[in-house]
C-alpha cells in the first residue's frame, strides 16, 4: 500500500506543474497528507483486535459476557478485568 502511495506522490507534481505553477508543492503536500493518513487508517483497521492503543478490548468484552452468563446461572463470577497502565486488553 505504501509503495503505491509513495510512487503516486512522487509522480503527482509532474502532472500539476503546468497548470498549478508555483502552487504545485502546496497541492502535492495536501494530497500526500490525505493519502498517507488514509494508509495509516487502513493499517489500524486491518487488525482491530490487536494489542494497540486503538485495539478493541476483546478480553475485557469476553470477561463481561462471562460474568453476565455466570450470574444468570447462579454461579460465582470472576472479577472484571482492570486496565493496566490505562490499557484494557
Which one is predicted more confidently, 8 or 53? 8
Residue in this structure with the C-alpha cell 462471562, named with its chain if needed: 66
By C-alpha distance, which of 29, 89, 27, 25 is closest to 63?
89
- Banded model confidence at residue 1, pLDDT cuts 50, 70, 90: low
CA distances from 40 to 1, 4, 26, 61, 63 (A): 10, 14, 21, 26, 30
pLDDT digits (tens, 9 = 90+) for 29-83: 999 999 999 988 888 888 887 777 777 888 888 999 999 999 999 999 898 888 8
CA atoms within 13 A on the CB side of 8: 13
Region 16-39 average pLDDT: 88
Per-residue pLDDT at 51? 73
Amino acid at each position: 500500500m505504501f509503495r503505491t502511495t509513495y510512487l503516486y506522490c512522487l509522480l503527482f507534481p509532474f502532472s500539476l506543474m503546468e497548470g498549478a505553477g508555483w502552487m504545485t508543492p502546496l497541492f502535492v503536500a495536501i494530497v500526500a497528507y490525505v493519502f498517507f493518513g488514509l494508509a495509516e487508517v487502513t493499517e489500524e483497521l486491518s487488525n482491530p483486535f490487536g494489542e494497540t492503543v486503538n485495539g478493541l478490548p476483546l478480553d475485557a468484552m469476553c470477561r463481561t459476557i462471562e460474568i453476565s452468563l455466570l450470574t444468570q446461572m447462579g454461579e460465582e463470577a470472576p472479577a472484571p478485568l482492570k486496565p493496566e497502565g490505562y490499557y484494557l486488553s
